[in-house]
Amino acid sequence: MGTIIFWSLIRFVFVLIVCYYFYDKFTLAVWSIVSLFLIFSIVFFPAYLKYQNFIEENKEICEHTLCSSCRHFDKTSVHCLLYDEKPSLNYLPCNGKKWELKMELIDETESL
């Protein structure tokens, strides 16, 4: 997830430099439309596609592993906060020894 943000920021800085260079060469209306199009097509759209790919690649880990119900699991970056390692379908960083149920899951089971 961090690489998506990092490369989006790099692309955004590049687009800002290019837009600044062309600021005096076009009228304000044309420049603003072209700038918005470049920002969307070079920065936001590729970041969105990479994010969707990240979600799809890690969907099974986030739904079907023991780590996904642990309080030490960070779903946004798909890694164990306790051991600072990325779990997979065949690998649990703590082997289940430090597993603790998330508080949200406890609240849901009590309401049933």
Phi, psi of 105, deg, nearest 5:
-70, -35
Q: What does the pLDDT look like over 26-65, one tens digit per residue?
A: 888 999 999 999 999 999 999 999 999 988 988 888 888 8
Q: What does the pLDDT look like over 56-88, one tens digit per residue?
A: 988 888 888 888 888 888 888 888 888 888 888
Q: What is the pLDDT of residue 65?
A: 83
Q: How many CA atoms lie within 13 A of 32 on its CB side?
A: 3
Domain ranges for the chain, please list them.
Answer: 2-57, 60-111
Length of the chain: 112
**DSSP H/E element including 56:** helix 45-57
